[in-house]
Amino acid sequence: MRRSQDRILTTHTGSLPRPSCLVDMLAAVSRGESVDEVALEAAANASSLDVMRKQADAGVDVINSGEQSRVSFSTYVTQRMSGFGGSWDRRGHKDQNEFPGIARPRVVQLITGVPTCVGPVTYQRLDLAEKECDGALHAAGQLGLDRCNLFMTAASPGIIATTMLNSHYTSYEAYVFALADEMRKEYELIVSKGLVLQLDCPDLAMERHGLYQDEPLEVFQDVVRLHIEAINHALQNIPMEQVRLHVCWGNTEGPHIYDVPLEDILPLVYGANVGALVMEMANPRHAHEHKTYQRFPLPEHMMLVAGVIDTKTNYVEHPELVADRLRLAVDAVGGDPTRVMAGTDCGFDTSAGSNRVDEGIVWLKLKAMRKGADLASR
């Protein structure tokens, strides 16, 4: 995990806006329609090169390919793994159910009709993961960027399991660990390419008001423990300094009044064998929780990638506000700025075409993040 003694580095959480032509192709993939793989790969590579150039121009230090080739941050695995089929209507978040008027049609479409696990899960198309990694590395070479500053996201066993429910394995635990065994192939490939692996784990917070909204807190905490165990099982051959883990409460605009408090999950998340946590710290519902890290100190080996940019609003954060948020994050980890990196709360296009922030504004936000990080570094 890259650290800097000179200034606070910047990164983001993963997904970036895709062009409409690519969104249309990915939508066809999600519907199970036949799509020319060569044409899709070419379109994704061209778009990846474009977003990587824009990240560099915005001053982002640790970048990625923006998940351009993926249908979504979690269901992309159905194009790479067997064992999924059928569909189920994913239940809305508790606050969305209470205030149905806030739901956007595109978001509703994306969280319904997802497949379930109907057979043994097997990672069959590792070539697709390799092409994605190689495409990012090639683009970095074209742009003259240091490949050491690249990261690649991957879905965690837990978010796959809570998105695509088990209809095959004898127990939920067996399903989660079967996913861990298969997804480790992708994780190890990413790291073998010299990329930092980011595990996307919104399940560790979001599913409290999602799949487990009617269960006692203790039941959800047990699920978090299980998911962390599965993560560690999948990462057993990977150095923790090559892995960062993203936790969020769902990239949805809404009241978020039923979100689980950070203090109820943070000590459990610390059990993950990773080198950094990528956390929401900008949105109005969780910005105050920088104080939680003082009550539950970040383990010495971990960095904090602090979300200082809200990915659900078209407001462009003022650099002074970004700097203030970073100073709070530095205080939260004991005053050591080398343990903090500036980031975003979540992705900007977690499922193809679902972006809430105008594409042009995305780049303004990332530029503001760079300026704010420079101010906080003085």
Query: Tell me: the pLDDT tens digits for 98-133?
Result: 998 876 654 434 445 689 999 999 999 999 999 999
Q: Mean pLDDT across the stretch 337-351?
A: 97
**Which residues contact residue 260 at a Cβ distance below 8 angstroms, ignoring those fewer than 6 apart?**
205, 208, 209, 217, 220, 249
Crossing angle of helices 172-192 and 126-143, rounded to 10°: 30
Crossing angle of helices 20-30 and 37-57, rounded to 10°: 130
Q: Which tens digit of pLDDT belongs to each residue from 275-295?
A: 999 999 999 999 999 999 999
Q: Is 284 exposed, middle or buried (0-12, 13-18, 19+ CB in 10 A)?
A: exposed
Q: How confident is the model at residue 147 (pLDDT cuts 50, 70, 90)?
A: confident
Q: How confident is the model at residue 148 (pLDDT cuts 50, 70, 90)?
A: confident
Domains of the chain and CATH, by start: 20-376 (3.20.20.210)
Question: What was the pLDDT predicted at 1?
Answer: 81
Q: Mean pLDDT across the stretch 184-201?
A: 98
Q: Mean pLDDT across the stretch 157-161?
A: 98
Q: How far apart are CA 244 and CA 266, in angstroms?
A: 15
Q: How confident is the model at residue 2 (pLDDT cuts 50, 70, 90)?
A: confident
Alpha helices in 193-333 (DSSP H): 217-234, 266-269, 292-295, 319-332
Q: Which residue has the higher pLDDT, 356 or 244?
A: 244
DSSP type of residue 63: B
Entry pTM: 0.96
Question: What was the pLDDT predicted at 103?
Answer: 67
DSSP type of residue 240: G
227 touches 158 (CB < 8 A): yes
